[in-house]
Structure formats: C-alpha cells, structure tokens
Amino acid sequence: MPTNVVMPQMGESVAEGTIVKWLKKPGDHIERDEPLFEITTDKVDAEIPSPAAGVLTKILAAENETVAVNTVVAIIDGQGPAEATKVGPKNQQAPVQEPEPEPTPQPPTLPATLEVTPVSATPPIAARVGEKVRSSPLVRRIAREHNVDLARVRGTGLGGRVSKKDILRFLEGRTPVVTEPQTAKPVVVKPPATSLGQTVTFTGPTQLAAMTPQRRLIAEHMIASKKTSAHVTTVFEVDMTGIVQTREEMGAEFERSHGLKLTYTPFIARAAVEAIKQFPVFNSSIEGTNIIYKQAINLGIAVALETGLVVPVIKHAEDKNFLGMARAVQDLASRARSKHLNVEEVQEGTFTITNPGIFGSLFGTPIINQPQVAILGVGVIEKRPVIRDDAIAIRSMAYLMLTFDHRIIDGAVADQFMAYLKHCLENWQEPVI
C-alpha cells in the first residue's frame, strides 16, 4: 500500500526545509531506512531515510524547493499502512556511541585520572580481502568517500553484513582492522577537501547568483541574533606555549594510544567548561525578563563546510575529561563534514566555540548563536615576541575573543570569565594521556 513521505521536523524551531538532492528517482526500488533525499535547514544538513520499502512512485517536491514541515514530498508504493509516515531522527540509525565519560577534574589545575579499557570482544569479520562484502548502498558510498576497503571492516550484521554503524566506528578507529592477508593495502582515511570559496564565471560586468538554501537560512539566523542580543566583544591575549609544547611532545603517543590526532580544540573546550562552571550566567538564556540557567553544559563546536557552517553539540561536556572531549570533538566534526549528524546533535547548545584561527585569523567578533548568551572565538596560534621578566621572549600566542549579551552579562563579569579561562590555559596541568 502507498506510504507518504513527509518533510521532517528537524528541530523545535524549524518550520521548513529545503530538498537539496533526491537520491532515488521515480521507479526505483528502495529499502526501509535507505537514504531517500538530502535536506538542509539552518540547523543541519541531513540524509532522510525512507520510511518503508517499496517503489518510489512519485516525487512531489523538486530539488532546491523549500517546503513546510509535514508536507508530503514523495509517495512510496510498498507493503505498509496507508497513512502518512513521518521521517525524522527517530527513524535514522543511531550515531556511534562514545565510551563512557571519564571523571571530570576540578579547576583550576584540571587534574584527571585516565583509565583505558581494552576492547575484548571480537565481532565476526565481514569478509577477507578479495571476497564479496555484504553491505548497503549507503555503506558503500561512505566507504568510497573515505577511501576504505570494506573487506577490512568487521561486520556485525547478519552473516557478517557491514552496517552503517560498523563503517562509522571503523572510521573513528574503534574497530580492529582485518590484518590478513599481509599483502593487503593499508587503509587511508582522508577527510573531504573543504573549499569555502565559490567559483564565479562572469558573462558580463556583474553576475547574479542566488543564495543557496543553507546560506539564506544562515543569513536570517545571523540577522535575528544581531536584532535580539546586545553584542559586546572582549579580546584577551593568551600564552599557549605550554599547550603547544604538550601537543608536540605528546601528540605521537596520544595518536598511538587512542587513534586520535591531538589538536588544540579539546584544550580550549576543557578550559571553557571550567570557566563556565565558575560563571554560570554564561550557560543561560533569556526568556522575557527572566534568566534561565542551564545545568548541563552543552558545548557547540562550529565546523566549516563547503556550503556554510554547522555547529554540532557536545552534550554534558561538564562530564568529560580531556580524552572524552577529544573523542567527542573528532566524532562530531567528522560526521558533520560527511553529513551524518542526527538533528539531536545540533540542538540544545548552551555555549559555542568557533575557531577562525585555523584559517589564519588573528581575531574577530563572532555573532552569538541564539538563544545562547555568549560565544568564544579562537585566533591563530603563532610565535610572537613578548616581554617576559623585562626581556624579549618568543612565545606561542593567541587572541581569544568573547562576544557576550550585554543585556545580562556586564563587562566586568565577561573579563573575569576570560581571565579565568586564560589562567587555565596558561597553567595547564591536566594529563592528556
């Protein structure tokens, strides 16, 4: 019987979505939970799975068309109830689960005890190199995008079938690879190239180009934020020399032990969490004339994509030590770039970190991500001459920028917050391994 496919509700405040691409055409057969189309909103880009198995008989919304949530966009003729079936996060496969969070250290020294439990269970091998691997079209597409030989991924599905969960866990380095035969080529996982610019071909003195749906939604969100909050930015210079040395000395061992690149983001995220604990107003929102303080620190980490910016959220960041933070940052950033985030993973953020420094920016004045009341920007870390004990020294320095909502946060409080954050970073003591 026919099943209606509707535009999902991708977040509490999202009223519409834009269909970016249909992954099937009329007449194609599709399995339940197989990706059917891609959408974009101001919250997230996502692949929407089919609610039923059958034949796609009709497409009712064209690519690049923006439609309201719950609008029927396609019809599938298959075996199922003749009623509208909403496609949303609950129908998507669950994201890869992180290991249990480790105990969080106490400020300001940020000590932590790290215990790593080795994986003892060995799932069945999907297939040996050279044999046919059972997998879905989605899994094969992910493997192609990341240059992964599926014969090297352990499948936990029926008969060793490689599932989406298996390939994502493999990409995160949490599943052992098949080492037989010895002549197999090593797996090289490469993130997709990011080009933030746009090529323009001129046919005259000027060229008209429509905003992409995501760019239009981002523009609307930014304008709304400037109209809502009283934006003020304060800038602090931070000596990152100790953290740079820690990264250089421990980076190789960290990667060998945990399969993760040691980046600067977890250092900054951990320090920000400790500062928020000392100044809870930075983990709040405004509702009318009331301030709503949030107990959970849900840390948004801005990730630049080809089409714009997405901000996945590390939920309960206060419960994570350095290793837990590093795992969460890499997991969410990787899945943001490959468009495998669930809508829940871009919701309920309470504080955001953005890092324009990766592109060489010294500092800027970031716009607050509503309904939050502050956002932390991180400039490039570079060696500069500074005065230490009345002498010129070469140190690794960075500018950190805090934009805050002056309606509820005074300048003195913002500067105290930044001074505490600066102290945590310049006097780092938490173990990273």
DSSP line for 62-96: -TT-EEETT-EEEEEEESS-SSEEE-SGGGSPPPP
78-118 pLDDT, tens digit per residue, is 754 334 444 444 444 444 444 444 444 445 444 333 333 33
The pLDDT value recorded for residue 12 is: 53
Nearest C-alpha neighbor of 394 from the set 278, 259, 194, 244:
244
Please tell me the pTM assigned to this model.
0.63
Mean pLDDT of the chain: 81
CATH class of 118-190: few secondary structures
> Distance between CA atoms of 386 and 368, rounded to whole angstroms?
31
What pLDDT does 308 receive? Answer: 72
Which CATH superfamily, name and number, covers 215-426?
Chloramphenicol acetyltransferase-like domain (3.30.559.10)
Tens digit of pLDDT at every position of the chain (433 positions): 889 999 887 655 567 788 889 999 999 999 988 889 988 876 677 788 899 999 999 999 999 888 888 899 999 997 543 344 444 444 444 444 444 444 444 454 443 333 333 333 333 444 334 445 767 666 777 787 777 888 888 777 655 778 777 787 788 764 434 433 334 333 333 344 444 556 788 888 998 888 877 788 888 889 999 999 999 999 999 999 999 999 999 999 999 999 999 999 999 999 999 999 999 999 999 999 999 999 999 999 999 877 678 899 999 999 999 999 999 999 999 888 887 888 788 889 999 999 999 999 999 999 999 999 999 999 999 999 999 999 999 999 999 999 999 999 999 999 999 999 999 999 999 999 8
pLDDT at 97: 42
Q: Does residue 144 sit in helix, strand or coil?
A: helix
Q: Is-same-fold flag (118-190; 215-426)?
A: no
What pLDDT is stored for residue 217 in this prediction?
Answer: 80
* CA dist., res. 262 & res. 254, Å (int): 7
Amino acid at 335: R
Residue extents of the structural domains in the chain: 2-91, 118-190, 215-426
CATH 2.40.50.100, applies to 2-91: yes
What pLDDT does residue 130 have?
A: 43
Long-range contacts formed by 48-52: CB under 8 A, 24+ apart: 48/5, 48/8, 48/87, 49/87, 49/91, 49/92, 49/93, 50/5, 50/76, 50/87, 51/3, 51/5, 51/76, 51/80, 51/85, 51/86, 51/87, 51/91, 52/3, 52/76, 52/78, 52/79, 52/80, 52/85
Q: What pLDDT is stored for residue 312 in this prediction?
A: 93
CB atoms under 10 Å from CB of 232, counted, come to 16
Which residues are known to be catalytic? Answer: 406, 410
